[in-house]
Structure 1
Amino acid sequence: MATTAPSSDQNPEVENGEESEVHVFSSAAELLEKLQDKWRSVKPQPYPAMYSSVFGGIILDPALMVIPMDDHMVHRGHGVFDTAIILGGHLYELDVHLTRFLKSASKAKIVSPFPKSTLRSILIQLAAASQCRKGTLRYWLSAGPGDFLLSPAGCPKSAFYAIVIDEDFEQCKEGVKVITSTIPMKTPLFATMKNVNYMPNVLSKMEAEEQGDFASIWVDEEGYIAEGPNVNVGFITHDKELILPEFDKILRGCTAARLLELAPKLVEQHRLKSVRTDNLTIEEAKNAAEMMYIGSTLPVLPIIAWDEKPIGDGKVGELTMALSDLVWEDMVAGPKTRRIPVPYV
């Protein structure tokens, strides 16, 4: 899962489309040596630890951080996933993410091999084993390995995988530009379920990058604002109202939900007039005073232009950054119920 295929100039078996002899690995030891040799040159190591219920434990050797090809998540996309942030040696919002994770699994008709408490314990132990103090913890539930058929009936048991990604991220303070996506968005059933089929999301992101922009915005079939390719979106009106699109057709982002809980502090300070979710047309949204993406590692990313049209004055908004500060401070030093300490050895 964590490995990447070598490029053609690194692979002697792929050269100008000519026929060549394919190497046959005669033993597991020979293959392992090949994989380990590849990872020795990767510095720093981006994946310090992985858990696999197939192996039944935590893996520290990146050469072995793999999943079976006959896992139905691989060849049928029958799996769900979620992510938690590791920041300052704490896991942020793990319980909230786990709750959503299991709801997604239920919608996907995947029964977890472990109860929620065991999943939680595994993830905390994995974070500790990784020794990572800043990064992301990603985890998946799949129908499991078994065969290559359409139905998962031949899969004896579902599988749980998780990996720690050692990555640096900071509070976003620079604004980005976005476009309206032409890629059809997912139907509500799949959009509200955090499943592994992210092809529409990938194509939507690529579409924006091909135009020199950061990402995109989906608009639903009724003409209302939906979400970004892997983030929620929010707006501040000229009347200083914070509005996020309704969550009935899109994923209820954990960070977006937390922002809605924290934002009333700005109402108390008379900086915001109100905080709510509502349907917004594309015209209403583009005429907003400020606009932002909302997601786990951002946590709030200012948007300064949409389809080449400036949002507000085309600069990073003051209230956008005030909201960003609220969530970032919550991530760094918020309530203990939101931040689970990792018991590093």
Structure 2
Amino acid sequence: MATLKSSSDRNSGAVPGVQNGEDFKVQVFSSSSELLEKLHDKWSGKQKPYPAMYSSIFGGIILDPEMMVIPIDDHMVHRGHGVFDTAIILDGFIYELDVHLARFLRSASKAKITSSFSQSTLRSILIQLAAASLCRKGTLRYWLSAGPGDFLLSPAGCPAPAFYAVVIDEDFSQCKEGVKVITSTIPMKSPLFATMKNVNYLPNVLSKMEAEEKGAFASIWVDDEGHIAEGPNVNVAFITPEKELVLPFFDSILSGCTAMRLLELAPKLVELGHLKSVKTANLTMEEAKGASEMMYVGSTLPILPIIVWDDKPIGDGNVGKLTMELSDLLWEDMVAGPETLRVPVPYA
């Protein structure tokens, strides 16, 4: 009889009792208490990476990681019928929560999912979740799905949509070191799916894996017309030799909340004479690779300098001065920006 191996054995690539032809005994849990005991053993003595979760299925906030689960028949799980978004918790404040929630509900509308909660109720749930987590620095991720019901293609058998959210205790800071990127060969999403933040991220995953296999941090998508699009889960921006900040148009890619905020803040550098202009425009591969500076733009970065693309340096191959000035603008906005963008978390 084969014996069950530890998770570390499984993660090493060994499949117990299968590769060598031995019988593999599957454990049967005869009661919920027996299963919970097994789950408790798994988490015993470990630091909880997810201090709190909300589930509309349970109707409340969960602090026990053993119970942070989603039904297998949720339409988001087996059909990818769901949307999500993310907000940052920094120094006890949630950054741009209302902006992210507005995009979240726009994505839900495109996915034909109607939230059972209003935007203000979702906001209240997420603030209470952050407070219950006691997390002062991390990410707040949340999903809206068509809900559980059955395993059919149509969501008609799903009685009600489901809302899930989790707090992830996560450290992050300004990115000051440059990274390498490649041009992705994985087909990018069509505009309908690229402009809604849905859970169908397989192209994004494969694009990221392709880059890592080639020793790069991530990748850049180029659309069918030869214009620069975006990264696998970030926007991309360029400083031209004429000192113009240029981001690709958002008509066929996701309009990142951080990228939109960058466009609002960057004119400060125009006023100081450091930048000539700030704009969105189509950029060809040749124009983009001729940039003086290049960067990823995303919530947890907020800016990540890019210094090499397809094994060729961007500009002089060093982190650009204007890139870091823009990074400082965004970071200061996250840390001590306007009250309208920084929602305080009422910790007990």
TM-score range with shorter-chain normalisation?
Answer: over 0.9
Q: Does the 8 A contact of 2:295 with 2:306 survive in 1?
A: yes
Structure 1: where are the runs of 5+ without partners?
none
Residue 209 of structure 1 corresponds to which residue in structure 2?
212
Residue 262 of structure 2 corresponds to which residue in structure 1?
259
SS at match of 1:257: helix
Query: Are 1:26 and 2:27 matched, yes or no?
Result: no
Counterpart mapping for 1:56-95 below 5 A: 56-95=59-98
TM-score by length of 2: 0.96
Distance 2:137 2:214 in 1: 32
TM-score by length of 1: 0.97
Distance 1:246 1:9 in 2: 45
Describe the shift of the 1:235–1:10 C-alpha distance in structure 2 as closer, same or farther (beyond 3 A): closer
Offset, 1:13: 8.2
Residue 6 of structure 1 corresponds to which residue in structure 2?
7
Structure 2: where are the runs of 5+ without partners?
1-5
Distance 2:36 2:171 in 1: 29
Q: Which amino acid aligns with 1:15?
A: G
Q: Does the 8 A contact of 1:13 with 1:21 survive in 2?
A: no
Residue 343 of structure 2 corresponds to which residue in structure 1?
340
Q: After TM superposition, which residue ranges in structure 1, 4 or more long, deviate above 6 angstroms?
A: 10-13
Which of 38, 44, 52 pairs up with 1:40?
44
Distance 2:321 2:9 in 1: 48
Distance 2:151 2:26 in 1: 24
Offset, 1:9: 3.9
Residue 3 of structure 2 corresponds to which residue in structure 1?
none
Question: CA-atom RMSD, angstroms?
Answer: 1.4
Distance 2:44 2:332 in 1: 37
What do the CA deviations read for 1:164-192 (whole angstroms, capped 9, x no partner)?
A: 00000010000000000000000000000
Q: Does the 8 A contact of 1:226 with 1:245 survive in 2?
A: yes
Residue 285 of structure 1 corresponds to which residue in structure 2?
288
Q: Does the 8 A contact of 2:18 with 2:24 survive in 1?
A: no
Counterpart mapping for 1:285-324 below 5 A: 285-324=288-327
What do the CA deviations read for 1:72-126 (whole angstroms, capped 9, x no partner)?
A: 0000000000000000000000000000000000000000011111100000000
SS at match of 1:337: helix
Which of 168, 177, 181 pairs up with 1:178?
181
Q: Does the 8 A contact of 1:8 with 1:15 survive in 2?
A: no
Offset, 1:23: 1.2
Aligned residues: percent identity?
78
Distance 2:327 2:155 in 1: 43
